[in-house]
Amino acid sequence: MQNPSVKRYLDRRIKSRHKAPSLRVHAVPLKLFPWFRRPTSFHCVDFNRYGMAIESHQFFKKGEKLSFRFRGRYIHENGIEGEITSVARSRGVYRYGVIFTYAISPKHYRREVDNAVSRIEGIFRQMNNPIDPAHDTAD
């Protein structure tokens, strides 16, 4: 059975996401002196050009801003900023909903970031079928 907060999160998505279990995601909080913090590794659940769902054993607060690094086959992107929009704890891990900062408002928009995340989305779109937010029943 799916956690109710995860179900509500799935219903809010503005675009279908693509499963991305092979995407390696690391992030550091955008706080004072972030370069002194060790990056946190995340398991990427799904991804689209506007955001992603990720899981980790480390806790982050809703609203916290992170700088992401993505690695995978044909993927090498650094410095993609995002904000945690939801947090749900399930089976000992935290599941986070993230929206990329460039998609929040026109003043944050950067074409190079849009192009980078669109390319990553395209890679995973070709690898599998999109997840329809209204019909996703996976735990």
Residue 18 pLDDT greater than 80, yes or no: yes
Q: Please report whether residue 101 resides in a domain.
A: yes
| Residue 118, domain CATH | 2.40.10.220
The pTM assigned to this predicted structure is: 0.78
Q: Please report whether residue 55 resides in a domain.
A: yes
Contact 100, 50 (CB under 8 A): yes
Q: Which residues pair with 55 in a beta bridge?
A: 43, 95
Q: Please report whether residue 100 resides in a domain.
A: yes
DSSP string, 91-120: TTEEEEEEEEGGGT-GGG--HHHHHHHHHH
Provide the pLDDT confidence category of residue 37 given band limits of 50, 70 and 90: confident
Q: Work out how many domains the chain is built from and give that number.
A: 1
Q: Please report whether residue 121 resides in a domain.
A: yes
85-129 tens-digit pLDDT: 999 998 999 999 999 999 998 999 999 999 999 999 999 988 876
Domain residue limits at 107 = 4-129
Q: Please report whether residue 47 resides in a domain.
A: yes
Q: Please report whether residue 139 resides in a domain.
A: no
Q: Please report whether residue 86 resides in a domain.
A: yes
Mean pLDDT (whole number) for 4-23: 67
